[in-house]
Structure 1
Amino acid sequence: MSLEDRIVAAWYREARWLKLFRPLSILYRYFVNRRRQHYHKGKKTVWRAPVPVIVVGNITVGGTGKSPLVAWLARFLKERGWRPGILSRGYGGRSEVYPLLVTDTTAVEACGDEPAMLAAQTGAPVMVDPDRPRGARRLLEENCNILLSDDGLQHLALGRDIELVVVDGERGFGNRRCLPEGPLREPLSRLATVDALIVNGKPRVPPSENYFTMALVPIRWRYLRDDSIRPVTPLPFAREVHAVAGIGNPARFFATLDALGLEPVVHGFADHHRYRPQDLQFDGTPDQSAMPIVMTAKDAVKCRGFADERYWALEIEAQPNQAFIDWLSRRLDMLTQQCER
């Protein structure tokens, strides 16, 4: 287990030794609040797009299910006649030019894994730019009339009409402390200012107004060798597999495989890990070396270039509850009315 993994585990089991970081946590919280006040009072500029902006984010470090919800939102908006575009910071990627429009030929090393995944899953324009307002202006040139900002809660320079926060229902908020003593990017008081809280999985946080739930549901297997699709069941390979996950919460993916009846040998990597073929050459008997390698869609976009006959990706979809769909539909109707004025 890496040092990073140890710290994350300590956050969620509320280890006492984390109190050593409390002075730094207090300082971090002070600067976060001051920065937010600067935007609120106009000391820092907020750029507002001429079209609606929906921000999807979280207040904890690590994966909560934001990107699957963004993909669902893009499909939902298309069905309602909107032309959505997706904004991303492109974490893990590095481009010589920004804004960067993600296409079929864009290298994952340039755009990052999540933008590549979202572009493939949604077919919507995906723009990568550390400067969110600049990226938003470029998306307007793609004829988008509504923008989705993935992991954009803390990017306050971009104005927003709806703020959605996704929470991991299993892990919750850990010890409820700000970095580095705890996993919070912002104090829990920030939740009072967002429009909706969506809990991914079984909720372990107290219900409140505009509190909804969603599930991440496996929908298909993708064979990386030829990009073909197989149903989730029956399994297209043997139950014994190597399971690979370089995401914010690998345990969630491994638990999904268990629920599908697989017998995985698990291999966790750091979030946004940049894979090399040798990373996935696992020691063991000849039978173990030949076992299928299953991974997340986010991992798969980085492995397609060297995938052999062993590689499979499990694709999932977010399924928000009906209460959220009804709430969002009402908010979109309000935004439509505002745009028509």
Structure 2
Amino acid sequence: MVEPVDAWWRRRQWSRGTAVPYAVGTFREAWASYPVLVRQYHPEWNHGVVLTQVPPLAEVLLTWECDVGHVFVATPAEQRSRPGRERRRSVWCPECQVQAQPQRWPVLPEDWPASVPVPQRAVRSVGRQTLPSARGGAAAARGPAAVGALPGAVPSGGLPPGAVASTRRRPVRGGAPVRGGGPVRGGGAPVRGGGPVGGGAPVRSGQPIPRVVCPKTPRLPSGESFTSTCAPATASAVEADLRAALQERFAFTFSHTAIRLDRPFFDHVEAWPDIVLPELRVAIEYDSTGRHGLEHVGPRQETDRRKDRAVRSVGWEVVRIRTGRLPALGPYDLQVSGISRRTVDQLADTLRDLRGPLFVDAYAR
């Protein structure tokens, strides 16, 4: 019968007639082969019971925390059996499993990552391209480590299961370039089995690229704002002018630079809006096409959409000030020609529409 850790501990105290039924370190050797579980376990969340005091086969509910920061409850047997045979090389979390969505890759086979099997519909759409052979390339990576990995998961002694190796500029047949033997990614040697890619370390077809989640993000509840040490500096003088104009009108907390997320966004579990308003839980972004007209368009616009979804999923709203004829991405975005007093007035009215005029005007100077 599965029971909470405090009830289980009291029952063992009564059955053994001692205050400490299992001394610290009793089951150290049994848990030594599961360093990921040792990292996920916290005694302060389990009534002070250390993991080496818990038998690996005990039917007790323990509290764990994944690398992203999700807290969940599971028994030792459940944790040791999920998700595969070698528990030490994998990280599992129920919330990460639910939130993980299959990535939408381009249809062209040369843009498909080498560690993910290419579906047959990609072949029908591009008849002149050639898929990786069944004996090499993507076919060698079929399995739970390639297609069932969670994003942001970091194993202790190997490559993370969420990372993928991609050869984007050439179709690959069995690990070698299809046409010619030219370099891949500027100056690197062609990919042949274990050859280097772009001058880096040898990468075989289907071998993942190491990816880690930045450990500098503080352990905060999802949706909390804070001052991040990883946040980049202000990119343009226009953003600084917009911040200064808002500081003249409102007494918000402008020192915060990041928002804690509940899932990894690239290599961090935090987002860095241009302006963070913690009191309103509103993030303000200033978007322009840049000097060469390439900013916030095409794939970079899709990155903006991903960032907005990540911020909104933790209870925040995003207001983008779009210039240079950039289309609006959200319901509260402003399409303006530039930053002016009229733009600041429109932004203030948008904040009132979002959070109510009484609440916003309470911070007016």
| Shorter-chain TM-score range | under 0.3
Q: Which structure is higher in helix share?
A: 1
In terms of Rg, which structure is larger? 2
TM-score when normalising by structure 2: 0.23
Bigger fraction of residues in strand: 1
